[in-house]
Structure 1
Amino acid sequence: MASSATNPNPSNHTNSAPISPVFITTESLHSILSHHILIQHFHTSLPTVSSSLHTPIRQIHEISRSSSLLLMPSWSTSPSLPFTGVKLVTYFPQNSSINLPGIHASYVLFSSTTGQTLASTDGTVLTLYRTSCVSGLASNILAREDSQVLVMVGAGALAPHLIKAHLAARPSLRKETMRECDDEAIKRGRVFVDNEAALVEAEELVGAIERGVIDKKDVGFLVDLIKGDNIGRRNPEEITVFKSVGSAVVDILAAQLVYEGYVKSA
């Protein structure tokens, strides 16, 4: 674990007390975060900070024909979230031939008050936590209270985190299997997404909308569910579908939780 920051509270420092940036190791990140805690943090924070966060569309830069660099920034000047953050992601699919992951990421957190660097950490692991916990939060709102079976859609490094997040949200779950999502599932269910980007980035939704399986106006949003502006599950027989594509909003909220937890434990 890296040394603690000098005057680490970004909302309570002066020009004479500079902040010493910290590097939060992957091991420290795991010790600070839990799926249950992050789900609760999203549930509490998303309705109050979403409107005050500025989150441009992610930038994608081509490094070569097969590799790219992605930038996902977000910033807030709200006293309750005085942070600016950016996730930097490299995508090198050819790494499979040399037994390396194709995606690597770092997350850097700054003070929105002075712009000083506060911390950097493993963006890949942070992404696994935030993506799975957004899904777990949706499950907490949309799934039946007596749900016992979890069907995994997709695989890879995210799968274990998704299972843990859903177990944290729905302790009644007793069994998981795996299946790909199709038009029939989209058609039969009421569809909700984590943010508007899902309507242009999620292939199963884009295709379903283009084929007339669903109408874009019928898709609901997670923040509206949390606020109670939209009704989630209306009865035990109803099918609900949630699709998450991720955003810098949940990145910065996850990074906030990690940084503040690190400062308290240092």
Structure 2
Amino acid sequence: MRILGARDLMGILTMEEAIDAVATALTEFSAGRADAPTRLAVPVPESHGTSLFMPALVARAGGLGVKFVSFFPRNKELGRPAVSGVLVLADVRTAEPVALLEASYLTALRTGAATGLATRLLAREDAHTVAIIGTGGQAPMQLRGIMAVRDIREVRLYNRNPDKAYRCTRAIAEQLPPGRQPRLVVCLTPEDVVRGADIVVTATDSLTPVFPAGLVEPGMHLNAIGSFRPTMQELPPGVISPAAKVVVESRAVALEESGDLVIPVRSGLFRPEDIHAELGEIAAGKKPGRVSPDEITVFKSVGLAAMDVVVGRIMYERAVARGIGQELDLGLS
């Protein structure tokens, strides 16, 4: 088994390559050629955290494995990362474990790639202003995904703690190449960050909507990536119900796990059949993406292990070819 830490994984796959890998995974899933059961969520009340167990098989891409990832928001008080975990990859022919990958970087990369894919298919071609609410570890990778598919000139960031937003601008500036530095602006209110933006990203652990619905304008595209439990809600219901297109990775998983959809459905403001498509259906050309510059489009992501095993498999193969990582003999033979 090859052991790959976060530093081993960084730079092994470009964002453009990750977007293509995610497109493959979601296309296979929506075509019924992949299996990604609803993840098992284990609450850890004493730490106010949640541990998730996410298995998947994408046979055509050689992806078989399970991701164990945890979200413990109070870890920040201990100086520890809020998100941690590992991905175990197995051989699709024999089921023998072949690799153990650190999962926080992998999760950020594939989530940024999913946002990049959704933005490519749903945002206006002339979109150039991005608003990001939530400036944790996901924010820089979200921006990388968007910048891989659109010419972004201005990035607005908002956090209830402005110091965190300013730290995020520094992290973004360090990660982006000198020739591709958009204008970075820290906003002090949700209204200031969202108003007039072309693309909005919400990346928080909020239990209540993070901006007023009245700020959403015709032509806007929203990527909501933070809500992964039925009690969590980033988007106001007044955004979901009138949107021209609401797109998810998996209808079944989104309707079970995301409060951004569960809460409007329970209150009668949205119907399950109102989901326009799975992202893999649009990527495969089976359903239309944006067809009008005035459409309001929403991508509601909850994460799907099919993406992890496909992206992880490519990373593993690259690592083997380049001699990256450490080999561990499990004594299976």
**TM-score range normalised by the length of the shorter chain:** 0.7 to 0.9
Is 1:175 aligned with 2:157? no
Judged with a 3 Å threshold, the aligned counterparts in structure 2 of structure 1 residues 259 and 249 are, in CA distance, closer, same or farther, namely same
Counterpart of 2:268 in structure 1: which amino acid?
Answer: G
Q: Please state whether the residue corresponding to 1:206 is helix, strand or coil.
A: helix
Identity level (%): 30
Counterpart of 1:158 in structure 2: which amino acid?
Answer: Q
Indicate conservation of the 8 Å contact 2:26/2:249, yes or no: no
Question: What is the CA-CA distance between 1:111 and the residue it aligns to?
Answer: 0.7
Question: What is the CA-CA distance between 1:128 and the residue it aligns to?
Answer: 0.4
Is 1:52 aligned with 2:33? yes
Q: Please state whether the residue corresponding to 1:32 is helix, strand or coil.
A: coil
Q: Which moved more, 1:62-71 or 1:212-221?
A: 62-71
CA distance in structure 1 between the aligned counterparts of 2:264 and 2:29, rounded to whole angstroms = 31
Counterpart of 2:296 in structure 1: which amino acid?
Answer: I
Equivalent residue pairs, number: 243
Instruction: Show CA shifts across 1:25-58 (max 9, x none).
Output: 2122112122111112222453246523222221
State the match for 2:250 in structure 1.
195
Q: 2:284 aligns with which of 227, 241, 244?
A: 227
Matches within 5 A, 1:1-266: 21-48=1-28, 51-62=32-43, 65-66=46-47, 67-76=49-58, 78=59, 80-170=60-150, 172-178=151-157, 179=190, 180=210, 181-189=235-243, 190-196=245-251, 197-219=253-275, 220-266=277-323
Q: Which moved more, 1:110-119 or 1:85-94?
A: 85-94
Judged with a 3 Å threshold, the aligned counterparts in structure 2 of structure 1 residues 56 and 213 are, in CA distance, closer, same or farther, namely same
Question: What is the CA-CA distance between 1:121 and the residue it aligns to?
Answer: 1.3
Counterpart of 1:201 in structure 2: which amino acid?
Answer: E
Q: Please state whether the residue corresponding to 2:61 is helix, strand or coil.
A: coil
TM-score after normalising by structure 1:
0.83
Instruction: Show CA shifts across 1:199-235 (max 9, x none).
Output: 2222122222223332220112111111222111121
CA distance in structure 2 between the aligned counterparts of 1:45 and 1:177, rounded to whole angstroms = 31
Judged with a 3 Å threshold, the aligned counterparts in structure 2 of structure 1 residues 63 and 264 are, in CA distance, closer, same or farther, namely same
Q: Which moved more, 1:137-146 or 1:194-203?
A: 194-203
Question: What is the CA-CA distance between 1:175 and the residue it aligns to?
Answer: 1.2
Instruction: Show CA shifts across 1:55-74 (max 9, x none).
Output: 22212335563344321111
CA distance in structure 2 between the aligned counterparts of 1:124 and 1:62, rounded to whole angstroms = 19
CA distance in structure 2 between the aligned counterparts of 1:142 and 1:235, rounded to whole angstroms = 10
Judged with a 3 Å threshold, the aligned counterparts in structure 2 of structure 1 residues 58 and 44 are, in CA distance, closer, same or farther, namely closer
Q: Please state whether the residue corresponding to 2:65 is helix, strand or coil.
A: strand
Counterpart of 1:117 in structure 2: which amino acid?
Answer: P
Q: Please state whether the residue corresponding to 1:229 is helix, strand or coil.
A: coil
What 5-or-longer segments of structure 2 have no aligned partner?
Answer: 158-189, 191-209, 211-234, 324-333
Counterpart of 2:258 in structure 1: which amino acid?
Answer: A
Q: Please state whether the residue corresponding to 2:46 is helix, strand or coil.
A: coil
TM-score after normalising by structure 2:
0.68
Q: Please state whether the residue corresponding to 2:148 is helix, strand or coil.
A: helix
Q: Please state whether the residue corresponding to 1:54 is helix, strand or coil.
A: coil
CA distance in structure 2 between the aligned counterparts of 1:71 and 1:228, rounded to whole angstroms = 31
Counterpart of 1:25 in structure 2: which amino acid?
Answer: G
Counterpart of 1:53 in structure 2: which amino acid?
Answer: A
Question: What is the CA-CA distance between 1:155 and the residue it aligns to?
Answer: 3.2
Q: Please state whether the residue corresponding to 2:80 is helix, strand or coil.
A: coil
CA distance in structure 1 between the aligned counterparts of 2:293 and 2:124, rounded to whole angstroms = 6
State the match for 2:221 in structure 1.
none
Instruction: Show CA shifts across 1:161-196 (max 9, x none).
Output: 1011000021x2211224433223223322111112
